[in-house]
Structure 1
């Protein structure tokens, strides 16, 4: 009896249009009757599942090397990586890696990448494909934003995650993955905001994806992105191509950009270069030598986007710039600042009168822009007491509170409290309050202090903690006149008052935790070394209980109100001296 040969069958992984969760479809082409199982397909599926256990099952951790990504060691099997990737094959031949735990080789992701970044979650998705041949869905916490009406089909976190995957696929020489992610990025180009096309164009340039480069250049050239933003964000070779395309006399190419006066443009560039050098005095000189104003140069927009926060402060202090000015694209300075996500600049602009309710030409507020730039992983990251809070979270919290009210208007509660009969005592109270805030909420305290210029004023001397000493309220400087001393103390007082006011305005709910800690319990607990040994034990036990209560309240505030911060005293009418790591006695 003759048997006909069974036609060959294959298992193929092909990409379809990206799903919302980032997964791709797997097409299995099988020959013969559908009712007859294809043994090759079954075998490959079992092999894929078995290899996946090496990644997901702790009991199957037989990895022989670590790749450290964002400070987290990821166990890998060099034989599998070497068999699937020429990059890793050459790497393991060439380098043994540094000696990690148990003497196993360890490699740093930052050392492996000649360009770009690959985060922890992106590397796990890449690694899963290397082991199983299947592309996992993108984790929502790093591939979506926290805007409640965003479709997440082209927001910045979605784009950034695919960009990270593209860097991994290209650098680690997985051409099948490069093809998949190139199609995804091409899909983004038509949907994304022009600014969000910039990172796509950068990865396309580094990975030499010519089709993607061409489409991105075309999109950016026809957009209203200004030349400065293009020059700051893209390689020179790409910038030249965009400028050439923009100079072409096409009716539909950047028709909304105004004609450029070379001399006017040159003077503006000089102002920007002076800002880059942190030289505001030179900026003032350039303003006097030409007819260019700060607003015409969009100097405040430029400083908010690219300069150190102290430069923004100095430009604002000139009093020559409109804090709510719109640039040629319709963005206010605050809109530009939230794209950078630097809390100190955002708070500074708000204190100077920036309106958080202003909308862009496409109807986006500052907080909306910030939410579309923020990943859930960052927004919902847990912050332990005494650790710095996430900047993304602080930016959104501050802007949302500003949208609900104007926190700087009519808040006289602090001023009414800071009218002391004893200036020294009030200074001491404020110094200690800010010091405790820095211990409990360092990021928020630092933010308020920077905006209030607190660190630029001399700190008020603390009293002596030696036994038997009443403590000096002031250190005597024989070269300082009473007038000079009074001026110095009032300068420090005003800076501390502003720090406290900013804390109350932008981080009010956790300030209640701080008030309870300071006003109700802390002063008495500073007498830990007084009394009998049994009394001291009771006080120390109560002190530990109080620390736990503060931690619970802090965690509850973070969960319910999305705010953390520092505050002033709502405090006592009877003055108290207190401080960290020192004994305090009542006066």
Structure 2
């Protein structure tokens, strides 16, 4: 290819000396065409190094979220000053360390410490370095799952360009920095102000003054509260935003909220929440005379605190779970923006309305959809993997909207529960264990909300599973203490089952029937006559089919778009697990 380029250059030079102007122009055109063809072939051949596994001759790897992406250091070093210096330093250091095996590995979080660059964005960036051509953003990584969205300024679209900007700036590719700055400038006035914050942060980290100034003006004109600004934006920018607000909108704020003493008391409550100290929150409420609603404490906890803190605040019974803040957002709207399933379920179980809308008509589920990438929502969950959190949030909220509010929650109804406390515990432990087997991610969520993991597992079950799990018996434990402990476990498991009934009613029915009719027999698949064993195996296969059908019904009632894939919920190793449970009963 190099010889072809040299020949075309030589031909052009010779012709210009001995032929007419017309012939010279034609020769130049031919030379240019050959150069274009040559560069195009070079670009395509280099792209094959990225996209074809047969051409994998990479000599280093960059790790993004646990996934290794092969790179060729010679290409990156030639295209980027950052990589040239990085690899030169590492080569010099490697000269002092002999005998190391394997490719050098680099964590993306170490290369770009000021921001996040995802796999999809990095592959587009890497393709440009190899080929000189910038690919379009893959739709599955740059569009949301809101059917009403034009995808011109939703969070996935904005975030994809933000990630490309972080990569371009950190790796010092100036032409891409200029290009993506123009794209982000177009987003600033169209995107929601919450998404503008991510643009502002990348502008600040990349020292892009024009983009930063435009973002600051947009945020200053918005109704974002000072607490949000101070939690998410560097203080020097916050001060600039406040200065603009004070000069242009001096009368737009409630005077009581500008009172230094009032503001200080609220900040102390927020700091106590940051420390997960709910007892201190109670003391501050008593001392200051400020209520949880005055401080928008539940909004704050839903946005920034651990799910257990949110549950404790709700258990105080002092906060209005559907209170709207100055922007018209309820705590559930805030939780939807955070996309934390445990927080969402805690709010719903305490009466939060999934039908409430913001001032611009957004419900909690539409907020979640606008923030969820198509790639994450429609991705198949492999067997045994947990469901994607974003998808889980959407499905929980959709289930809540479709749930009949007059039906209420069924109590756990089973003949086994009519007996003593130990029988109840044994039934509930088994039922939750099978729910975890069928639906690992969903059962984990229900147990977390019910705080079942915080209670001690019934010794009769845990001890029989394996010798290593045998819980030591406290001989000094009084009967009343033991009874209290067991009652606490029953209540937590009962709540877990109720949550399952609320969000997965058809699957819960299958589990009920299995526990009542089939559990004893299916534990002993290898016992009985050959005909009895054959019948048990047939029933075992029917059970798996019943679970799949029930799961499909729950999916259909969620709009046919449930995030709980049957592949993650039905286990191919179910039979083996039944054998383990069988051993546990001996």
Q: Give the alignment's TM-score, normalised by structure 2.
A: 0.83
8 A Cα contact 1:510 1:565, kept in partner? no
Distance across 2 between alignment mates of 1:133 and 1:244: 43
8 A Cα contact 2:335 2:344, kept in partner? yes
Distance across 2 between alignment mates of 1:144 and 1:412: 39
Q: Secondary structure at the match of 2:133?
A: coil
Return the match for 1:42 from 13, 37, 44: 37
Return the match for 1:300 from 287, 293, 298: 298
Q: CA separation of 1:379/1:255 partners in 2, compared to 1, >3 Å: closer, same or farther?
A: farther
Displacement of 1:258 in angstroms is 2.7
Question: 1:77-133: per-residue Cα shift (whole Å, max 9, x none)?
Answer: 211111111111111111148999973332222221231111111111001111111
8 A Cα contact 2:410 2:501, kept in partner? no
In the comparison of the two structures, how many residue pairs are matched?
A: 542
Unmatched tracts of structure 1, length 5 or more: 10-30, 468-473, 567-577
Q: Give the alignment's TM-score, normalised by structure 1.
A: 0.83
1:335 match? 333
Q: CA separation of 1:498/1:207 partners in 2, compared to 1, >3 Å: closer, same or farther?
A: same
Distance across 2 between alignment mates of 1:383 and 1:100: 40
Q: CA separation of 1:154/1:487 partners in 2, compared to 1, >3 Å: closer, same or farther?
A: same
Q: Secondary structure at the match of 1:363?
A: coil
**Residues 50-199 of structure 1 mapped to structure 2, 5 A cutoff:** 50-96=45-91, 103-199=102-198
Distance across 2 between alignment mates of 1:420 and 1:182: 67
8 A Cα contact 2:387 2:563, kept in partner? no
1:279 match? 277
Distance across 1 between alignment mates of 2:141 and 2:62: 20
Q: Secondary structure at the match of 1:75?
A: strand
2:501 match? 504
Unmatched tracts of structure 2, length 5 or more: 1-17, 466-471, 567-577
Worse-superposed segment, 52-61 or 358-367: 52-61
8 A Cα contact 2:417 2:423, kept in partner? no
Displacement of 1:143 in angstroms is 0.7
Distance across 2 between alignment mates of 1:211 and 1:285: 47
1:439 match? 437
1:581 match? 581
Q: CA separation of 1:464/1:207 partners in 2, compared to 1, >3 Å: closer, same or farther?
A: closer
2:492 match? 495
Displacement of 1:73 in angstroms is 1.6
Distance across 2 between alignment mates of 1:103 and 1:537: 53
Distance across 2 between alignment mates of 1:72 and 1:282: 43
8 A Cα contact 1:122 1:164, kept in partner? yes
Q: CA separation of 1:128/1:512 partners in 2, compared to 1, >3 Å: closer, same or farther?
A: farther
Matched, 1:314 2:309: no
Q: CA separation of 1:360/1:132 partners in 2, compared to 1, >3 Å: closer, same or farther?
A: same
Distance across 2 between alignment mates of 1:476 and 1:122: 56
Worse-superposed segment, 364-373 or 86-95: 86-95
Distance across 1 between alignment mates of 2:415 and 2:139: 47
Question: 1:49-77: per-residue Cα shift (whole Å, max 9, x none)?
Answer: 22222222233222222222222221222
Question: 1:371-426: per-residue Cα shift (whole Å, max 9, x none)?
Answer: 10111111122223332111111110010111112569522352576751333222
8 A Cα contact 1:125 1:135, kept in partner? yes
Displacement of 1:326 in angstroms is 0.6
Distance across 1 between alignment mates of 2:270 and 2:74: 53
Distance across 2 between alignment mates of 1:243 and 1:464: 58
Q: Which has the higher helix share?
A: 2
Distance across 2 between alignment mates of 1:429 and 1:460: 11
1:389 match? 387
2:365 match? 367
Distance across 1 between alignment mates of 2:99 and 2:283: 56
8 A Cα contact 2:384 2:440, kept in partner? yes
